[in-house]
């Protein structure tokens, strides 16, 4: 199973956070399949082989919110074995990371991943 984890520290008004995450994931061509106040799951539509369908989970660390600073963890995964360095799941993970980094809706303070 391919699995890529990324961490982000962003500055945003907490009331705008959830909608920004949803919009960012949707801008990457993903469909939101489940969401709560502190968790969003999105998935690719079935345009590829079943084992390659990517699921993205974004955890909002609500207990660690300080003012407008919020920690997020994004986990991108699928059932494909990551036999190649540039596999489908990693490509989607990179796309999501770029979308989170480039978002104009928040100020990125810190990022780390993989």
Query: What ranges in 1-114 are assigned the alpha helix state H?
Result: 14-27, 88-102
Q: What is the CA radius of gyration of the chain?
A: 14
Phi-psi region of 94 (alpha: psi -120 to 50; beta: other; left: phi over 0): alpha
pLDDT at 86: 78
Q: What is the pLDDT of residues 102-112, one digit of tens each?
A: 999 999 999 99
Phi first, then psi: give them for residue 71, nearest 5 degrees: -95, 135
pTM for the complete prediction? 0.90
Residues of the chain with pLDDT below 50 are: none
pLDDT at 84: 77
């Amino acid at each position: 199973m391919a699995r890529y984890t990324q961490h982000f520290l962003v500055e945003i008004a907490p009331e705008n956070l959830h909608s920004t995450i949803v919009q960012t994931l949707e801008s990457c061509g993903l469909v939101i399949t489940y969401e709560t106040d502190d968790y969003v799951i999105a998935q690719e539509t079935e345009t590829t082989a079943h084992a390659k369908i990517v699921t993205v989970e974004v955890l909002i660390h609500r207990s660690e919110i300080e003012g407008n600073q919020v920690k997020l963890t994004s986990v991108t995964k699928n059932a494909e074995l990551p036999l190649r360095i540039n596999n489908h799941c990693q490509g989607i993970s990179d796309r999501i990371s770029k979308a989170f980094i480039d978002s104009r809706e928040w100020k990125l303070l810190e990022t780390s991943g993989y």
